């Protein structure tokens, strides 16, 4: 069964638009997480950014103590956030690139260019009982580096596929890259997640990618939830994912 991790960052984005710096406010990310879990989501994803633009430290501690599924903490490989992660002990950490100017994560991590640093962080996280994923582009060099680093998972960046979805030739090219990358990662013993830009329109075609364990989806689900409610938004996405067969 293909699992769904719901990224609830943009619940906090909405709260911070009105209540930034006030230590509270609405909507509450924890309540959103509970609704997602009750609707059938298999995990909750949050990105604790260095600039704290949406998720705050208090949010991750509330989530760690309350959610019943699996907490995936996205984070940059920086000492201050790593220190928090080692105390928080999420179920899994996904290491991502991060730039202050970006609206959302713009690309994959350069695992091949930072093998030593990432391997050291991976060792510290694993020693604390935390699984590690690397958010990378569907590229053989990056996948091979992820294996050398010793991460348990990779998360394939699906942004190029999502952005090219309405251009058939480009979409097919990016889909083939994802399929080949998943096969290669699986052959190296890596578990494969995917995410970025996925929505209710482009997800069905992505189900051709083999060996997927989990999809991490945020903005599209939160956007739909504004109109139909969180429970319905999550269940609609799960229904689209239901036909998936990992070895196809």
- Residues that are catalytic: 47, 74, 196
Cα-to-chain-centroid distance, residue 153: 11
Any bridge partners for residue 103, and if so which? Answer: none
Tokens at residue 180, please? Answer: 């080949």
Query: Residue 165 and residue 176: Cα distance in Å, rounded?
Result: 13
Give the alpha-carbon dihedral of 68, 155, 92, 4, to 10 degrees. 0
Could you give the CA distance from residue 206 to residue 176 in angstroms, rounded to a whole number?
10
Assess whether the previous peptide bond of 27 is cis (omega < 30° from 0). yes
Residues in the chain: 248
């Amino acid at each position: 069964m293909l699992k769904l991790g719901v990224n609830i960052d943009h619940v906090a984005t909405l709260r911070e638009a009105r209540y930034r710096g006030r230590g509270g406010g609405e909507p509450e990310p924890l309540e959103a997480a509970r609704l997602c879990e009750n609707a059938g989501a298999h995990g909750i994803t949050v990105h604790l950014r260095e600039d704290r633009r949406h998720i705050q430290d208090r949010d991750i501690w509330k989530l760690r103590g309350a959610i019943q599924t699996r907490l995936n903490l996205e984070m940059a490989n920086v000492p201050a956030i790593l220190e928090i992660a080692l105390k928080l002990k999420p179920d899994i950490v996904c290491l991502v690139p991060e730039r202050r100017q970006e609206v959302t994560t713009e690309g994959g991590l350069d695992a091949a260019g930072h093998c030593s640093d990432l391997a050291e962080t991976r060792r510290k996280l694993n020693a604390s009982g935390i699984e590690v994923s690397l958010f990378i582009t569907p590229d053989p060099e990056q996948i091979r580096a992820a294996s050398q680093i010793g991460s348990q998972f990779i998360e394939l960046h699906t942004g190029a596929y999502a952005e090219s979805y309405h251009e058939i030739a480009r979409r097919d090219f990016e889909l083939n890259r994802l399929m080949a990358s998943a096969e290669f990662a699986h052959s190296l013993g890596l578990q494969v997640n995917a995410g970025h830009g996925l929505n209710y329109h482009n997800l069905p075609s992505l189900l051709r990618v083999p060996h997927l364990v989990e999809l991490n989806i945020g903005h599209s689900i939160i956007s739909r939830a504004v109109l139909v409610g969180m429970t319905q938004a999550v269940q609609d996405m799960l229904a689209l994912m239901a036909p998936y067969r990992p070895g196809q």
